[in-house]
Amino acid sequence: MTDRLAVTRTRPGWLWPAALLLLALLRPHWVEARDSAVPAASHEPAVVAPKAVAGAATETAATAATATRATTAAAEATPPPCPAASAARWQAIVPGVWIWPGAAQEIGPGNRGQVSSQILLRDGHRAILIDPGPSLAHGRLVRESARCALGLTITRVLDSHAHAENVLGNAAFAGAQIEASAATVAGMQARCPQCLASITQSAGAAALDGTTVWLPEASLRPGQQLASDSGRWQMLEFSAAHSDSDLVLWNEDQRLLIAPSLVYQGRIPELAQGSLLGWLAALRQLHRLRPDWVLGQQASRHAGLAATPANSSGLAASHGYLCALAQGVIAALELGRSANEASEAPELALPAYASWAGHAERHGFNVQRAWRELEPHWMNGGELDCAPLE
């Protein structure tokens, strides 16, 4: 009896762990069977529906973003209307080079001060501009016409020299890199406030409305190279010619010369800040490059043409006037005339150039300027090289 009771008492000691082990082994199957027996719909509201809502929101946002991108692309593909394109005066010279010629006139309300040229060099979809012109308004016209008529964005502006009609359009190119020589920057600092007042008086307040003096970076130096679609350009600088710093660009492959401040055509050159002898020397040096095209105040062919007012070479025409002026001064000096008689001296009337714009306004001043420079040169036995350009 005692033994039977003992066996009975000890039986739960090993049966309960065995039962628990069996339950643990069978539980996953019960859970799987239970889950498969529960309708799927009972779980969907808690798990699947939020994902569907999020997906719908994402799809809506993506659709809106796609529509926005399509609208933006359409806007970019269709640029805004451009009245400037119809006002553009761009003249193609060689592939990738254009000039907007300056008017062969004196500065006045009719031309709004635009008597100097603007020149574009293409560089892919961008462009380099040489001289932005006389005003904020004209600079904007140049910028927008380049965009609309030529498909170019002007990203770099080079100021050839410190004269108002060439550089006061800088303010229209605030987003571009604007550059000049150190001497040109110094000249603009010294003279442009007065130049702005002077050109405003000549061209009219409406033409110069909003125009301010915008100084360039002093980063251009002779010998630098400039890359463009039309080839490489070499920078030259003449420090005593038309002004104290005249920038010139030369493309040997194209035989193309850009000399905005040194080459006039149909307009009397300005000697106010220049040197007659230095200018003549610069023109002879440029002639020795043998350019096919010369872009100055206007575009012209150049092939060693005779120096007469009627020829088609702006370089030769400028050389012709300056040489005639110098020869007239030397002739008057040799006849014993004084500076007080210079303005009435027949040797200095230069009737061949009387039809050029600015003859009445500037020729008399040029005579006095040339006399002051050439009198000591002549007295010291200096020579004058005015042989025709050949």
Do strands 118-123 and 97-100 pair parallel, antiparallel, or not at all (unpaired)? Answer: antiparallel
Which residues make Cβ contacts (< 8 Å) with residue 224, sequence separation at least 6? Answer: 234, 235
The stretch 71-95 carries a mean pLDDT of 66
Average pLDDT, the chain: 83
**Percentage of the chain exceeding pLDDT 90:** 71
* pLDDT at site 59: 40
Residue scoring higher pLDDT (62 or 324): 324
Q: For residue range 88-107, what is the model confidence (pLDDT) as tens digits?
A: 789 999 999 999 999 999 99
Q: For residue range 171-215, what is the model confidence (pLDDT) as tens digits?
A: 999 999 999 999 999 999 999 999 999 999 999 999 999 999 999
Whose structure tokens read 């004196």? Answer: 106
pTM over 0.75: yes
**Percentage of the chain exceeding pLDDT 70:** 75
CB 94 within 8 Å of CB 230: yes
Q: For residue range 340-386, what is the model confidence (pLDDT) as tens digits?
A: 999 999 999 999 999 999 999 999 999 999 999 999 999 999 999 99
Q: For residue range 141-168, what is the model confidence (pLDDT) as tens digits?
A: 999 999 999 999 999 999 999 999 999 9
9 is written with which tokens? 């008492």
- Give the bridge partners for 121, in sequence order: 97, 128
Whose structure tokens read 């640029």? Answer: 79
Q: For residue range 231-289, what is the model confidence (pLDDT) as tens digits?
A: 999 999 999 999 999 999 999 999 999 999 999 989 999 999 999 999 999 999 999 99
Rounded to whole angstroms, how far apart are CA atoms 303 and 313?
8
343 is written with which tokens? 């303005």
